[in-house]
Amino acid sequence: MNLEKTWQAIPRLAPGVLILALIQVCAVARSAETGDSAPAPVPPVADPCPRSFAARDVVQNPPALFSSNGVLNVRFSYQHRIDANNREMLCFMTPEGLQNPTLHVSPGDHLIITVTNNTPALPLTMTVNPPNCGASSMGPSSLNLHYHGTNTSPTCHSDEVIKTTINSGETFQYNVAFPADEPPGLYWYHPHVHGQVEHAVQGGANGVIVVDGIENVQPAVSGLRQRLLIVRDQEVPGEPAPVGNVPAWDVTLNYVPILSPGDPGVTDFVPASLQMQPEERQFWRVSNSCADTILDLQYVFDGVPQTMQLVGIDGVPVGSQDSTQPGQPIRVRHFRLPPAARVEFIVAAPPASVQLAQLITRGVDTGPIGDNDPQRPLATIKLVDVGDAALVHGAAAGVGANQGRDDGRVGVFSAFNPHQRRFAGLSSAPVAARRTLYFDEKDDASGETTFFMAAEGQPEQPFDPNAPASIVATQGTVEEWTVENRTGENHEFHVHQLHFLVESQNDFEINGAHRAPGITGQYLDTVEVPYWDQNPSHPFPNVKLLVDFRGPDIGNFVYHCHIAEHEDKGMMSVIEVRPPAVAGDSARGMQAIGASPAVGSLK
């Protein structure tokens, strides 16, 4: 669906008023921090959010920043510009002019980000009740950051998104502590202000995080050339009707536009270019950083699907947690990648005899009321013989933007690392509670749709940052969740702060869908639940998940559909994780008033 965006309902200020409002905000130079330790604001940079690539351009790795001595300090200016198609582009710029750089850290590191919201101020439309982390009101120009997939704390100044608000002109500092047993792999960062996620993500304000060291968990990638491939979506110019080969959204690959038949003057898809040297193997690390577009990746030679060797999914190397290490790569011919999910795999260069080698996304049936996601090529493979730096970063880029370090290749295996098994033993852990959660949608008399992330036995309510938690869990336990889709379009289940083990994908085929390859038995933070075909005699499609609360993190965080439009329209809820003593007292109190949450049947 292509519903009207929440932010568009807010009247935009006239240019003169907008400039005056921005000058007033900058004049007071107020900070979201209090006290003497407030960080210095990050000034705006000239020419922000450059999107200078053209169709068919060679894909380059993004600029990269690396931690040193256990810390990565980053200063971001959050900025915008309007492109030639009147789309608002958004980005995180460093003072040196790097746009949305890749952030390299190691397990146990601290990621310290100082960010100033330098976008023009718009009216604040929602009050956030105390306790607040930053401002107490939010609106279309508000900001915060989510460190997606990281197993980090949901507390203020870390990965907290419910109460954290950074309004225009404000400066805020994050200090995100990565656990020592964080699995090495691909994560990402993006804004997460309720009601504004789709607009910010489609504006391009996101980048990836790499927890380094995967070569010592899966030696198959040792020394390989790596491609950090970020797929983002955006509005099709003119917003033509999404039918046939006209997609609901255009996509880009590392900001190289993938033109579609919906673009002015275009009759066929125009992919980007990816360079490989003859006979080489590369390690492709793909983030679906789209707001709404579902991908189904396939690597094809003259139309014939090739093997992709899966190494990691959602930041966790496959087979690295419970099996004898190192786990074996999983061989697949395609991989379903919902919005926000990541996959890392090894591919081989095409033989010289191949006429057309491409990375494509297959067509996705999103359901009778879902978006149109047709098959389209993302990149055409070109065999070349050039130096390493030019092959990855472009002919003139070198590694100057990367502090003299090159992220064009994975590190070389040195010694096997057995310490990144954060989720070890999850599959055999006792289950403390079982719950049924579900996606639902309701249309009002005007045709406006409200989206729900509901729990069985509770009233359906759209997300409210001021509402109490829908679920209370106990730190140190494991729960089994069945997540159902009761709607006519696909949804993507994501939970913050932790991962879950995919036990099974159920009742997909009877509803006309297919189970995703390669994910059952693996540890994910985002999983797709396809549409229900609306036949009353058919069961709801569902996934069964083991959710891991054994980590140290307690507090409130969210779970939601990661199709950002759905999330913005209410398909999100809050879970509170309490330490055992507090949770025990709460349970005894519930029993005293006759509301006993019998283990094994919590809803």
pLDDT level of residue 550 (50, 70, 90 thresholds)? very high
Contact 236, 250 (CB under 8 A): yes
Helix (H, G, I), strand (E, B) or coil at 275: strand
Quote the CA–CA distance of 318 and 161 in Å, as a whole number. Answer: 29
Domain map (residue ranges) of the chain: 6-211
CATH of domain 6-211: 2.60.40.420
- Asked if the model's pLDDT at residue 19 lies above 50, the reply is no
pLDDT at 435 over 90: yes
Cα–Cα dist 438/345, whole Å = 31
d(CA 482, CA 435): 6
Summarize pLDDT for 73-98 with one digit per residue, the tens: 999 999 999 999 999 999 999 999 99
DSSP 539: P
- Please report, to the nearest 10 degrees, the dihedral formed by the alpha carbons of residues 87, 93, 96, 98 taken in order: -70
Mean pLDDT for 259-287 is 95
Q: Let me know the angle formed at the C-alpha of 597 by 591 and 600, rounded to the nearest 5 degrees.
A: 145
Structure tokens at 490: 């696909």
User: pLDDT band at 326, cuts 50/70/90?
Assistant: confident
**Whole-number Å distance between alpha carbons of 289 and 397:** 24
Contacts of 522 (CB under 8 A, 6+ apart): 313, 316, 318, 501, 502
SS3 content of the chain, % helix, strand, coil (to 5): 10, 35, 55
Band (394; pLDDT cuts 50, 70, 90): low
CB 156 within 8 A of CB 133: yes
Residue 44 has pLDDT above 80, yes or no: yes
Q: Pick the closest to residue 108 from 74, 155, 70, 73 (CA basis).
A: 70
Residue 370 CA to chain centroid, in angstroms? 20
- Two structure tokens written together for 92: 């995180």
Identify which has the larger pLDDT, 405 or 455. 455
d(C-alpha 527, C-alpha 340), whole Å: 9
How far is 100 from 18, CA to CA, in rounded Å?
26
- 117-149 pLDDT, tens digit per residue, is 999 999 999 999 999 999 999 999 999 999 999
> What is the predicted pLDDT for the residue at 474?
98
Structure-token pair, residue 307: 């093997």
Q: Which two tokens stand for residue 566?
A: 């759905």
Taking CA atoms, 272 is separated from 197, 222, 253, 256, 269, in Å, by 26, 27, 7, 6, 10
Judge contact between 539 and 557, C-beta under 8 A: no
Query: How would you class 136 by CB atoms within 10 Å of its CB: exposed for 0-12, middle for 13-18, buried for 19 or more?
Result: middle
- Contact (Cβ atoms closer than 8 angstroms) between residue 463 and residue 194: yes
Count Cβ atoms within 10 A of the Cβ of residue 366 and give its class: 0-12 exposed, 13-18 middle, 19 or more buried: buried
How confident is the model over 215-246, as pLDDT tens digits? 999 999 999 999 999 999 999 999 999 999 99
The CA distance from 64 to 398, in Å, is 12
Name the β-bridge partners of 288: 231
CA end-to-end distance (rounded Å), the chain: 30
Identity of the amino acid at 559? Y
Are 184 and 107 within 8 A, CB to CB? yes
Three-state secondary structure along 159-190? CCCCCEEECCCCEEEEEEECCCCCCCEEEEEE
CB 44 within 8 A of CB 92: no
Rounded mean pLDDT, 279-287: 97
- Distance (Å, whole) CA 150 – CA 316: 10
Strands (E) located in 368-513: 376-383, 433-443, 449-455, 471-474, 478-485, 491-495, 500-506
Go through the chain and tell me how many residues it has: 603
- Report the DSSP beta bridge partners of residue 188: 148, 208
Calpha distance 442→448 (Å, rounded): 8
- Is this prediction's pTM over 0.75? yes
